[in-house]
Structure formats: structure tokens, C-alpha cells
Chains A and B, each alone.
Chain A
Amino acid sequence: MNTLQMALADGMTITKRNALKIKRAPDLLGGVVVLPIVLVLLFAYVFGSMIELPGMSYTEYLLPGIFVMTITTSAQITGYTLTLDLQKGIFDRFRTLPMSPSAVLTGQTVSDVITNVTSIVTMALVGLLVGWRIHTSPLEAVLGFLVLLLFAYAFSWVTATVALALRTPEMFNNVATIVSLPLIFLSNAFVDSSRLPGPLKVIAEWSPISTLIQGTRELFGNTSPAMPVSSAWPLQHAVLASILWSLVLLVVFVPLATRLYKRAVSQ
């Protein structure tokens, strides 16, 4: 077996392990299936009934934002699971095995893709029930889901990096909540970012979260000519910019997480 084959085989073994864990752990499953349902229903009915948008329903405007909010939240599972494993000594066992050292992190992040697919499918189905529709071609729709998944995968590496730097589940959960809330609310997820005041507007328009939400809206056709898009470059080229952001995150955080993993387990 060569190095690449070994990395793939071991990555799959670890992926399977993590998938089994998520299936058996009710707390994790709740975050993957139940929370997305609650979010879609809550936002669609509470805000959807109060807010009027020119030329489109607020529910349609909202759903891509909920998708993105959910995948950034569930990327935290990667970080949380890593901190739990760090405390338990299972990584010591892994490191005494003749396995590929990269498999732990790839297995972890790839199993997150499985959970993200589950969340997104759940949300899309519930979304269809509450009036969300895709207005574009099937090809664009599929691309929309792929762009979401790619970003989610890249974001898992970000949370893995944070988790490996912080090391304890308690610290990680605190930091993740403090960071992820502003990230979502300082974007175009719920409001038109171009109407935010001064510096908040700049932050929201250049946030990767806004870019991804705008890109997803375009690919699903959840836009309206009556609602012009801000002139900021990433929002004008949202699909391309979303893909670029994902690649940048991967290039930066894959090596960083790998380095921190090595440091965290060799003490």
C-alpha cells in the first residue's frame, strides 16, 4: 500500500468511526437534524410573517441564510469532537498505530460533509413545505448545494484549527458561540447589508458569510430585481467569490490544523 492509498483507506476508517458516533450520540444528531428544522420553522413563521420585501417573499430571501447559518454551526461539531477526543487518549492509540497521520483530521472533516448533507437536505425539504422554491435550472441548483458543501468543508478546517489551539471542549464551545453569532448576524442573512450603518456595512459586505449567502441566493434564484445587490466586489461576483473563499480557507487552515494537531498530540 502506498502513502496515498493508506491515507485514503485510513481516512475512510476514521470517517466511518465519526459517522457512527454521530448516529449514536443524540446530542450531535439533534444539532444536525432537529436544530435545522426548528430554525427554518422559527425564522419562516416569525420573521416571514412580519417582514415584507419588494418582489419576493421573505421566506425565500431567508432560506439561503438559514442554510449558511446551519452549516457554520454544525462545522463546530468537528471542533467539539476533536477537543473531546484530545481529552480521552484515543489519539494516543491512533498514533501508536501504523496509520496515516493525516487520517484523523481528514476523517473528521469528511464525516462533517455527511452531517452537512443531512442538515441541508432536511432544511431544503422543510423549506419547500413552508414556501421556499428554487427558480433556477437543476444544474444551477445542484451547483448551489455544492458551493454550500465546499464552504462547509473548508469551514470545518477552521473550527478544527480553533479547537486544536484551545484544546478543551468548554473553551471551544464558548469561543465558537461568541464568534459564530456575530459572524452570522453581521451579514446579509436576515437583513439587507447595504442598509447597515458605516463600518458594519463594510464588514457585512466583505464577510465570506455574506458572499456565500448571496452566491446561494443567485444559484437558487432567491433574488428579486427590485432588490439591488451592493456594489462590493464579492457580492457582485458572489458564486466565484464563495468558491475562492473556500479555497483560501482550505489553503490556510489545512496546514495550520495539521501542525496544531501534531503539536497537541505530541506532549
Chain B
Amino acid sequence: MPDAIVAEGLVKKYGDVVALDGMELTVPEGTVFGLLGPNGAGKTTTVRILTTLLKPDAGHAKVAGFDVVRDARRLRAHIGASGQYAAVDDHLTGAENLEMVGRLYHLGVKRAKQRARELLERFDLTEAGDRPVQGYSGGMRRRLDLAGALVASPPVLFLDEPTTGLDPRARASLWDVISELVTAGTTVLLTTQYMEEADRLADRIGVVDHGHVIALGTADELKDQVGGDRIELSVTSAADLEAVRRTLAPLAVGDMQIDATALQVTIPVTGGAAALTTALGHLSTERITVRDAGLRRPTLDDVFLTLTGHEADEKIKETVR
């Protein structure tokens, strides 16, 4: 299978801040690649370079066989991009927005109109199509923006945090649309902060930190790297934290995290629900009062903690644009 996207050693600096530091990625045709990482890790910068919006300071990249710098103009006819900030015009109707994009792809007046109607129908916007976008909900705007990226039926699609800020229902409906596209053979590069989103949509995931990919694999492979389930429990008094650590140490399959402010302990375990029952049994024997306890799958934070040794939160402060 040929590769639709190949990036090699991409570097991008803003003054002293290094946004991309040797970014490498390869996406085979017809697959979905998820770039997972916190704000400021370099996800958006990568997408901006691959969609010809930015020139890299070093390295090179090819999309659909075109060099993103040298063949930028020709490449644009073969890609679609939908961003974090829905790039739609408030005063124009949904139909006018899509027609405008069609005209700018040089589809011709008639074809642009026809294509706009097709897409409105496909994205469940037929009724709203003749109303100004001003009155659209966040989910509708994102759908319209995604429709805009599909006007020319591009073989390669870039989705930069397509569901950030959406409510769960709108997110689920957008995921359905993206899944359909992939079934139809479109290559997708998706960036996201949500493990769940990457899990649901991506064939392969690259975890990004400090401007380069630090781990690569399927969702399951990454989760295995991170470890299995986690017990998360909170106690009523800081004095109990040490007792909890001592009592549950034999159950833990990795380092426990103790948050003294939130009175919370996170313990990596194997064995799922049974491990939780055992843990609660031990704590009860030791007469430690537990305020809340639960079992959960790894999150982005866990991936980060394991792979980089620091919390995803810390990175948000370094956000670069």
C-alpha cells in the first residue's frame, strides 16, 4: 500500500520556542492516523505544514505524492482540511458557504451548487442549508466545516481537533460521519486530545510531545504500554494516605500516584473489577474510610505520565501558536 502522507524530520521554530523537533510520520493510503497530544505538543503545527499553510524550517513532507513546499499549489487540489475553529462564514447560509468553496475549487457554478446540496444532505443540514450560519449550533458548524473540506472529494483529509468543545452527542455524530468517510477510502490525519477519539477512529496513533512522536502504535498497543486498569480512590483524611499506600502496595503493578491535596491515590492494577474488590477488602480490614473508589481505563494523562514522566497539564502552559 503506498503512503498518502510522509513527513521526515520536520522542524519549526517560533523564535526560541521549538514547536516541531524532528516530527516523523507515515500514513498508508486509506487509513486513519491519530496524532495524540496535549496543547502545544506540535499537533496543529504539523497539520499546518502538511496543508501548506506553513513552511517547515527543516525536513520535508509529501502528501498524495506532492511535496508540501515545492508542489504546494498543485497539492491543494488533493487535500481537504477542517480545523479546530470552524472556518465558516457567519453571514452566509450553509449552502452559500459550500458553494463558495466549490467555486474556489473551480468546480463551475452548476457543479458547485449541486455539490453543496449533496453535502448538506449527507451532513443532515438540508433544512438549515438556507439559513445564515450565525444561528447554527456548535455541532452544526463543525459538520458544515467538515463538509467544506469534502467539497472536492479529496483523497487526503486533515482534521485538526474536529470535536474539541463539542457536547457528547454532537461528538458522537461527527465520529459517525468520519467513520463513513474512512470506509469510503479516504486517508485521514486526525489530531486530538482525547484518547477515546483516537481509540474510536484511528488505525494507528502517534503520541506527540515536545514536537515529535514519542510513541507509535495501535490504540491497544499504546494502552498496553501505559499499563492496564487503574484503581482511583479518595480518602477523607491526609493521615490515611500513607496507610493506603502501605496496604495496597502488593496489588500495584507500577508506581502509585498520591495526590495529597485531593486526598487521592491512583494504583495501576491487573485483574479489573476483582482487583478493586480485593483493594476495598484490604482497606476495610485496616479500617480506612474510603470516600470514593473506582476502576478506570488509561487516559491521555496516564499515557503521558508513563511515556514522558510528566503530566499533560504541565504542557498546557507552554502552548505555542
**What residues of chain A have their CB less than 8 Å away from a CB belonging to chain B?**
1, 6, 9-10, 13, 16-17, 20-21, 24-25, 88-90, 92-99, 103, 265-267
Contact = CB atoms under 8 A, between A and B. Distances in A.
Interface in B51-72: 51-55
A17 B89 contact: yes
Contact of A9 (B53, B96, B106): B106
Contacts of B260: none
Contacts of B104: 10, 13, 94, 97-99, 103
Given A97-B105, A98-B106, A99-B104, A92 B53 contact: yes
Nearest to A265: B53
A93 B132 contact: no
A20 B91 contact: yes
A263 to B, nearest CB: 12
27 contacts: A9-B106, A10-B103, A13-B100, A13-B103, A13-B104, A17-B89, A20-B91, A20-B92, A20-B96, A21-B89, A21-B91, A24-B91, A24-B132, A25-B91, A88-B85, A89-B83, A89-B86, A92-B48, A93-B81, A93-B145, A95-B53, A97-B101, A97-B105, A98-B74, A98-B105, A99-B105, A266-B54
Residue in B83, B91, B101 with the greatest tally of chain A CB atoms within 10 Å: B91
Considering the complex of A and B, which 8 residue pairs feature the smallest CB-CB distances, nearest first? A93-B87, A89-B85, A98-B76, A24-B91, A99-B104, A21-B91, A98-B77, A13-B103
Interface in B77-127: 77, 79-81, 83-89, 91-92, 96, 100-101, 103-106
Given A13-B104, A24-B91, A92-B81, 12 more contacts: A10-B103, A16-B100, A17-B92, A20-B96, A25-B91, A92-B53, A95-B52, A96-B52, A96-B80, A96-B81, A98-B76, A267-B54
B17 to A, nearest CB: 13
Given A89-B83, A92-B81, A92-B83, A9 B132 contact: no
B76 A90 contact: no
A99 B101 CA distance: 10
A80 to B, nearest CB: 14
B148 interface: yes
Interface in B213-251: none
Nearest to A89: B85
Contacts of B100: 13, 16-17
B73 interface: yes
A93 B101 contact: yes
Interface residues of B, number: 33
B69 to A, nearest CB: 12
Contact of A97 (B48, B74, B76, B92): B76
A10 B112 CA distance: 13
Contacts of A1: 106
Nearest to A99: B104
B150 to A, nearest CB: 13
A24 B84 CA distance: 26
Contacts of B51: 96
A88 B83 CA distance: 11
Contacts of B55: 266
A20 B94 CA distance: 13
B300 to A, nearest CB: 25
A51 to B, nearest CB: 41
Contacts of B91: 20-21, 24-25
Contacts of B96: 17, 20
B88 to A, nearest CB: 7
Contacts of A266: 53-55
Contact of A90 (B53, B54, B80, B88): B88
Contacts of B92: 17, 20-21, 24
Contacts of A25: 91
A207 B88 CA distance: 41
A98 B76 CA distance: 5
Contacts of B81: 92-93, 96
A2 B145 CA distance: 29
B14 to A, nearest CB: 8
A24 B131 CA distance: 11
B103 A9 contact: yes
Contacts of B103: 9-10, 13
Contacts of A96: 51-53, 76, 79-81
A9 B106 CA distance: 9
A265 B51 CA distance: 13
Nearest to A87: B85
A17 B76 CA distance: 21
B87 A92 contact: yes
A10 B104 CA distance: 6
A21 B92 CA distance: 7
B63 to A, nearest CB: 11
Among A21, A92, A98, chain B packs the most CB atoms within 10 A around the CB of A98
B87 A88 contact: yes
Nearest to A94: B104
A98 B53 CA distance: 12
Nearest to A91: B87
